[in-house]
Amino acid sequence: MTESISLERLTGIVAFARAASHGSFTAAAQSLSVSPSAVSKTIQRLEQQLGLRLFTRTTRSLVLTPEGRELHERALHLLRAAEDVVQSAAAVRAEPAGTIKVAAPLPIGTRLLAPALPEFRRRYPKVQVDLRLGDRFVNLVEEGIDVAIRIGDLPDSNLLSRGLTSAKVSAFASPAYLAARGTPQRPEDLKHHDCVNFRYQASGQLMRWVFKAGSRTLEFTPDAAIVVDVSDAVVEVIAAGGGIGMSASFIAAPYVERGLLVPVLTDFAAHMPTITAIWPESRRASPSVKAFIVFLEELFPSPAPWDAVIADAALRPKHIPSTRGTKE
């Protein structure tokens, strides 16, 4: 007869799986809403019960032992099976309810998603939204994320996905900067201008600028006068006259509407990554996830209204010199 597992041992397995996935007791504790000491003690008891050393502990990190690595894979299977039970129970309910965890890039989360969440809650008052913002790619299964929003090409995976709309990326500058330095007519003219570039926090790499010139694709990293690692900071710098920078249309559109930014080199705009919603297979039947995906489709229509703002601004006559700028 198989020995039944105790609640204490099951709790230890959950704490161990989270600590192994996150690489620290503190992060595991945050995900479980308990104290780091509680996680540490729970895992120590599990190690004593199993007679195994699961981690090699250092002052800075946790490293799985060979036995810990094998157990971690099995523990993840257990958690996924448990999650399937929870999702199956949730699917029985006709009305969306409970907590839904959503991950999104910082600019999309702050500018588009966060302002729309009150409307989602008005429609589904029994659903609580836990929004996680950041630039890193989260592991949806290991971190218990129900829905994530990502920009750009997605790696092959077993995740379900739905393309929402495009995120057109193009060049902008302030009217004052263009009046003083002139408007570039070709991408090659940017070498005569101050450029403001973006650095990806996750990789530390600088953004490569992409333009389309007829059948040719021009791709390069400009010699930037200013580099920042937050997308919103790029538009703030260029709106203050710091130079020419690349921005997604949904970030730049409010600045364009207020006359703080002007689109430039619009005939050469080429980079249009897709905004995509992804969710685990285990969430397929969740009423809350289904409702949120439908809501996202409304929030991110295609064609996107922010692209229309940029297109209209590009067609307006401009009283700005169309001369090649000169760096001092």
For residue 165, what is the enclosing H or E element? Answer: strand 160-166
Find out whether the peptide bond into 125 is cis, omega within 30 degrees of 0.
no
* C-beta of residue 246 within 8 angstroms of C-beta of residue 198: yes
pLDDT tens for 243-294 read 999 999 999 999 999 999 999 999 998 867 889 999 998 888 899 999 999 9
Q: Are 21 and 142 in contact (CB under 8 A)?
A: yes
Give dist(CA 81, CA 150) in Å, integer: 26
Q: Is the dihedral of CA 68, 74, 76, 79 positive or negative?
A: negative
**Given a cut of 70, is residue 55 above it in pLDDT?**
yes
| Dihedral (CA of 114, 119, 120, 126) sign | positive
pLDDT at res. 82: 73
Residues 6+ apart with CB under 8 A from 238: 172, 173, 174, 177, 196, 244, 245, 247, 261
Q: Any idea of the CA torsion for 107, 111, 116, 118, to the nearest 10 degrees?
A: 100
CB 212 within 8 A of CB 270: yes
What are the φ/ψ torsions at residue 106 (nearest 5 degrees)?
-55, -50
Task: Return the residue matching tokens 């704490």.
Answer: 15
Residues with Cβ within 8 Å of 72's Cβ and at least 6 positions away in sequence, in order, are 16, 17, 20, 21, 64
pLDDT, tens only, 156-213: 567 899 999 888 899 999 999 999 999 999 999 999 999 999 998 878 899 999 998 8
pTM for the predicted model, two decimal places: 0.66
User: Do residues 144 and 21 make contact, with C-beta atoms less than 8 angstroms apart?
Assistant: no
